[in-house]
Amino acid sequence: YAAVLKSISESNTRQDAALVDSEPDPWKAIALYLEKRTDFIIKYHHILEYLKTYTPLNMPPELESLFTHFREQELGRVTAILERSKERGLFRMEDPRKTAELFYDFLEGFRYATLSRSGMLFPEKKQFLAILKKEKEFGRIFFNGLAFNIP
């Protein structure tokens, strides 16, 4: 299962990374990143649904290390967006990696809080778009707080 999940994720990441990395507008890049994450989950829901059988306490080591890899990969993508934005003078921040970690940790915490209220590790299909909408709302607030000039 971990090998299949890694294979489909890597294939998807190669396609999505090019789109996200080519977007010059930082907010549009973040929104695209969030949309692509949600698209992936919806597209592979039938495969990912198996995760419902696990909790953080009974997660197999193969999946645990895979999720650590996914986290680093996603943090790298968000960090790259922030670094480009800082270099262009669009955002002010001392450490793009730490800012990316803060943003990503919020997303994880938000997702965890949403799912824990429903008693599930993995959301039902109908919850994905509601989560995406709230992630985008948070992203808008978060990144407007970093901007020099808010349009």
C-alpha of 108 from chain center: 8
Residue-level pLDDT, tens digit, the chain, 151 residues: 888 888 888 888 888 888 898 998 988 999 999 999 888 888 887 777 777 677 778 888 888 888 889 899 999 999 999 999 999 988 888 999 999 999 999 988 887 777 677 665 566 777 788 888 889 988 888 888 766 655 5
> What's the pTM?
0.81
CA pair distance 20, 81, nearest whole angstrom: 8
